[in-house]
Amino acid sequence: MANILAVDDSASLRQMVAFTLKSQGHNVTEAADGQQGLNAAKSTKFDLVVTDVNMPIMDGISMIRELRKLPNYRGTPLLMLTTESGVDKKQEGKAAGATGWIVKPFNPDKLLGVVKRVLG
């Protein structure tokens, strides 16, 4: 079972992501913004990071950029949650080092499908 970090400023979405992943037996750590996420990632090694893009303090793409600089996260799957209108954001995220994205709105099944793609 994997160690997963879920970063989102929206508590409802974060809880949904966490709950869904926990239901599959994963360990999930929650963070409310990019800075918190980054701090958590520095203290524990996660196998997967799922992050929202628009967040206060530090946005998801900046967090991904910072994470990729850490030796522990060179090859770690980093997924971002983005909206259908965020075509530019996907490219920006990819350039920052994101592995892929989940398009909002999404449901738990879709989330699990995407997580499966990176965790197996």
Residues of this chain that bind other proteins (CB under 8 A): 9-13, 15-16, 19-20, 23, 52, 54-56, 68, 74-78, 81, 83-85, 87-88, 90-91, 94, 97-101, 103-110, 112-113, 116-120
Q: How far is the CB of 16 from other proteins (least distance, A)?
A: 5
Between 27 and 99, whose beta carbon lies closer to other proteins? 99
DSSP 2-28: -EEEEE-S-HHHHHHHHHHHHHTT-EE
Cβ 70 to other proteins, closest distance in Å? 12
- Tokens matching residue 94: 């990819």
Nearer to other proteins, 3 or 68 (CB): 68
Q: Of 27 and 108, which CB lies nearer to other proteins in the complex structure? A: 108
Give the integer Cα–Cα distance in Å for 120 and 107.
19
Q: Which is nearer to other proteins, 15 or 27 (CB)?
A: 15
To other proteins, the closest distance from the beta carbon of 43 in angstroms equals 18
Q: How far is the CB of 113 from other proteins (least distance, A)?
A: 6
